[in-house]
Amino acid sequence: MSVPGIDIQLVPVGSQGYELYCEVERQTSARVGDEERGLGGRLAKSFHGVLTYIENDRQRRHEQAHQPHPQTWFQRARDRVMAWIAERVAEQRLLWHLRTETAATLHCPDDLTDAQASAIVMASLRRDLRRHLIWMCIDACGFLAFLPLSLIPGPNLPTYYFSFRMIGHFLSALGARNGRRRVAWSYRPSAAMTALRACAGLEPEARDALAHDVAARLNLRHLARFVERMTAVKPML
């Protein structure tokens, strides 16, 4: 019998670390902001318009990657900025979705017990909650600092930037808290996740090939890119 809720992978990073990973289709991402009332719901709804724009731009860049065409300096700079923002969105999307979930299935390396996997998840969510609350406060200060510029005609880009980040961290903190307090977790051993542990001792080309192989086996389109990004943050020794 299938367990309702969201599917999450516990990805080994390096020899000791783990990162939570999830792919949510664009149709599902429309749920962000549609299932809550109150302050969280209002902020999420206003946030959803920005997410839709980022998703559409990400799709455009993916399609144009296979159809190279000349770009101006401004277009190249814009694409780099949007790619950076899209990666930041991807890092927080899991927590945004956890805000409204009541159940989740964790696909974890099959050499971990349920108790070990649970401890890893709870510790990760606890760190996420603390980190996003801190960054929410920092970005709120930036938002307030640039808010007076709203009196000047024209787009107030710094205010938009800090408000986007502030709301994103706020929603992430809500997701981490809900994941710890209300989500019913079930655990499913995965040999594919265990296979990723071998990345720690591989050269970059072999590591990339293994990550792509596991991603294809699990039908996770962006897993290989996630492993590459986490490798850059936490070098695999």
Predicted confidence at residue 117, as pLDDT, reads: 96
High-pLDDT (> 70) share of the chain, %: 65
pLDDT in tens, 116-156: 999 999 999 999 999 999 999 999 999 899 888 777 766 66
Q: Kindly list the strands in the beta sheet with 184-190, ordered across the sheet, starting from the edge strand earlier in the chain.
A: 17-21, 6-13, 103-109, 184-190
Domain count, the chain: 1
Calpha distance 169→118 (Å, rounded): 24
- Is there a domain that residue 165 lies in? yes
pLDDT in tens, 155-169: 667 887 888 888 889
Total residue count of the chain as it appears in this document = 237
pLDDT band at 235 (very low <50, low <70, confident <90, very high): very low
Name the nearest CA neighbour of 118 among 127, 108, 110, 128. 108
Q: How many CB atoms lie within 10 A of CB 180?
A: 16
Q: Which pTM does this prediction carry?
A: 0.74
Statement: residue 1 has pLDDT above 80: no
- Is there a domain that residue 214 lies in? yes
Arithmetic mean of pLDDT, 198-212: 85
Quote the domain boundaries for residue 107: 6-233
As beta bridge partners, residue 190 has: 109
- Is there a domain that residue 87 lies in? yes
- Is there a domain that residue 1 lies in? no
- Is there a domain that residue 60 lies in? yes
- Is there a domain that residue 159 lies in? yes
Residue 34: how many CA atoms within 13 Å on its side-chain side?
Answer: 8
